[in-house]
Chain A
């Protein structure tokens, strides 16, 4: 039996991951004969880390997902720098820009998304305007953003803020222009957005919120619709992306915002699948890598026959801003209006703390956590794993664990008699008091009587403290 010909169009994070997952299940290529077609001329790279490249903490080399001979080692027919121009569904053939064709038994579209350029006069194709999507974009940004130069970032969403933080960290004067009244409005409520803006402002970033860019003046900056000018040598556009559906639409597949897929990631043609940013799955927010990776695992199960019951049911979205000195997590539905929901909020804007937790049936239904990393990490665990929330809601939002709230004491008088002082020898405070009263009134006498301090010795100070306290109070 010969292997099935699987052709993947797209060698970004979704396509590359799918290829890895297929080869993890079918290392020898016995089941799947794999071809991957990539539009960029270089090996796949990790788009999530582009903000680190802009920030200068990583090099373009270090974000590569695969090395040069990855394809050969894993029996993948990899065609780089090749645009796919059309799909002939009747004959199951894809057409490439160089005039060649590739036959398929199964076709997978992983064509990703393209940056969306807002309709600002003079923005399209202008020098000094760069989207923030590819490694080439990063190269252009870094070439233009000389230290000290003013930069405007168009878009106050997740990626725009990551880019802004990275550029500010490199020494640029950054202004974020965002048409909505608060930052990251998809994930944050107005108060959360305000606290985040305050934190970023303390890191040197300026904001123009609730105003729209009207015109780009090359060499000058962005003219806003309130008439003001934001000076900028460079404009970084991060105003969202649009699924790249051209190929699918051209082939007559059902397309809405993205290519429509079901739980088996099938398009309206059962021989064609789609995943990642180009796909539109019910209830899945696109633009994040986690869903694409989970989809890749499901699709690899299906295409290799490893698990024919595998289905993709959506990914709970957790938004996590990756930027130095900022800890922001948001998930679920923090914008509830349901009076049955329990809502807990803590706000300390001057110090960059804001937390909002929506509780539904004892479970975390949504949250915004800014400035308390431990709380964010723990709440996400509760959300992802469906763990009921601790009764101490406030402590949870502050990042406290268990009895952290219990008074800690250096005063021996406050310790209960049952407190174990010497763990090595299971000696309680009560036992030390008993021996002291029986005449063992010094540390060495207490050690002789109880063996306390004779193990690891780390309780010596506490034992001395108890002896002193007994001497003072008797």
Chain B
């Protein structure tokens, strides 16, 4: 989008395509009266204004004290998928080098880690879309699984105008309304559906045998499992008719088809396997790496792709390298000018990290950048308890988010229009965002904060530069030779309008819009079928908790809502938490449209306003997760984690519903 500073404020207009309401109202936050413009320090229980030096000195002194008392892992860092590449990179380096801690992870763990793990398993690499977004425009068929772009990123829909759209979602979402066909599996049964459709692909003669033989390995083991999921059996588990499964198999085989997955697929304790199920289906049909077909994963956060490539993940170093790979450690240590053996190993994943805070073996401090886990993490009441148990909580944010309100020190930071930086979009293309307006007085960038603390921890000044382009130059070197190789990308090339998809191997390399045209990233160049079977949700319903609750977004709010709830135009549309309920289910619970309901799970309860939705399954309720306090959907959610990605099961938990009295 383009920004123009005018007398009346900043005017936002789309560069191409379009913007949704969140886009064009984003400028409202720049001069929101709720912006923080001075650091805050908690004194006698109250957050009170303080000077920058005072606050930075205090934080550094506490970090040093805690490390001295309990070792380097006493200090922990929590990042976000909305941070720029430069911030994500410097945050990872700050944790490993300035703090020497292994305890760093980020909220992207709640968002895309299952697709990332499944993508790595199947293709040897993880880039949301391994093809340019524009390729979708030529598709005959697009299958969207667990994705609701009509609410979450409406401009994306313009790429789907000519394709026949098929949506898999337990709810008749705004996206499903537009689809040529909507398949509504019971929550937590996606994998059974993928297996049933794969069975139909084979049984009805749609298997792309020559592709399977020449470009993949492992089909037989996958078929042994899918053979047991004849469509009638998958129907009984999922509620999607065998006829629809067979139709889908034929439809996907009939022309240029794309299969796209998103949070609905991933946010389960079996999220990685579920994504693998859909990738297996795509491979059986010969879609990935085709000229006009493919598999991809839709990103959830602004920099969901770039944010998971450069080292703010517990197990990762820049360039999408593994922290337990000796060669990766040697390379990054050389760029950072430290000894490889001084780099810590893998740390705890996001929920496990938050869950360990303030426990005898867990971290005693937490530095939070670009995240609001009090609202966005599962089993939210436990997260609040853990944060309260810390010796030191430091939060960088634009506004006093629910997490910032619990902090000991809060740093007011810049936002997108006030700073330089790069983001990597869902197709692996790196975008440069330039500073358009001056930040309010008293506000600094996240890079400034890191630089300021590092300096006080005794780090040499050149190690933690506050200038984004300088950080990016170092990121290029650190990523060189990695899977996500940015070494050939420069601010200059981006500013000149080059469309660069990573990997970009040198400054003359044109980038890689299509990753799998010739080979996949495994050493033998072939994709892997991964044998996976359906096991079902971690928490089945029972007599006490007879309904499935599922969570998601509404158009006018973003993530924990800390920003969007401050924009009047957005908040007026969806000002409070609601719960969608089938009218029959509501009536049985003595509830009518507009009533306040109490939704209860084994972990907590949420009060929400009833919206009767006749298209909903009678055994499912839906709550958006953007809202704070007693309206937090995440008071209900189940922190059962995927064994591989450590992603929590946001998308289904067992609840009951009743009147709020």
Contacts and interface: CB of A to CB of B under 8 A. Distances in A.
Interface in A175-215: none
A402 B228 contact: no
B618 A387 contact: yes
Interface in B203-220: 203-205, 220
A457 B584 contact: no
Interface string B114-157: 00000000000000000000000000000000000011001111
A46 B229 CA distance: 11
A454 B227 contact: no
B15 interface: no
B202 A322 contact: no
Contacts of A404: 615
Contacts of B154: 423-424, 455-456
Contact of A451 (B21, B232, B236): B21
A456 B154 CA distance: 5
Contacts of B174: 423
A380 B235 contact: yes
B13 to A, nearest CB: 9
Contact of A384 (B202, B236, B243, B244): B236
Interface size classification for chain A: 35 or more
Interface stretch (A62-70, A148-156, A251-259, A336-344): A62-70
B239 interface: yes
A97 interface: no
A277 interface: no
A381 B157 contact: no
A49 B618 contact: no
Contacts of A385: 186, 541, 619
Contacts of A424: 18-21, 154-155, 555
Contact of A457 (B158, B184, B241): B158
Interface in A405-445: 423-426
B647 interface: no
A62 B225 CA distance: 11
B616 A458 contact: no
Interface string B585-598: 10010000000000
Contacts of B585: 388
B205 A456 contact: no
Nearest to B221: A67
Contacts, number: 131
Contacts of A67: 220, 224
Contact of B223 (A62, A402, A423): A62
Given A322-B230, A388-B588, A454 B224 contact: no
Contacts of B613: 402
Contact of B161 (A373, A403, A458): A458
A320 B157 contact: no
Interface in B146-183: 150-151, 154-158, 161, 172, 174, 178
B242 interface: yes
A128 to B, nearest CB: 29
A458 B614 contact: no
Interface string B609-642: 0000111111100000000000000000000000
Contacts of A318: 236
B240 interface: yes
A318 B235 CA distance: 11
Interface string A60-99: 0011111100000000000000000000000000000000
B224 A381 contact: no
B24 interface: yes
A374 B244 CA distance: 8
Nearest to B199: A49
Given A387-B618, A455-B19, A426 B555 contact: yes
Contact of B172 (A62, A64, A322, A401): A401
Contacts of B58: none
A426 B20 CA distance: 9
Q: Which of B24, B150, B204, B236 has the most CB of A within 10 A?
A: B236
Give the top 9 A-B pairs by smallest Cβ distance, nearest first: A402-B614, A402-B615, A373-B241, A373-B243, A377-B241, A456-B157, A424-B154, A424-B20, A320-B232
Interface of A: 46, 48-49, 52, 57-58, 62-67, 290, 318, 320, 322, 327, 373-374, 376-378, 380-381, 384-385, 387-388, 390-391, 401-404, 423-426, 451, 454-458
Given A320-B232, A424-B155, 11 more contacts: A373-B243, A377-B235, A377-B240, A377-B244, A381-B239, A388-B585, A401-B615, A425-B24, A426-B556, A456-B158, A458-B158
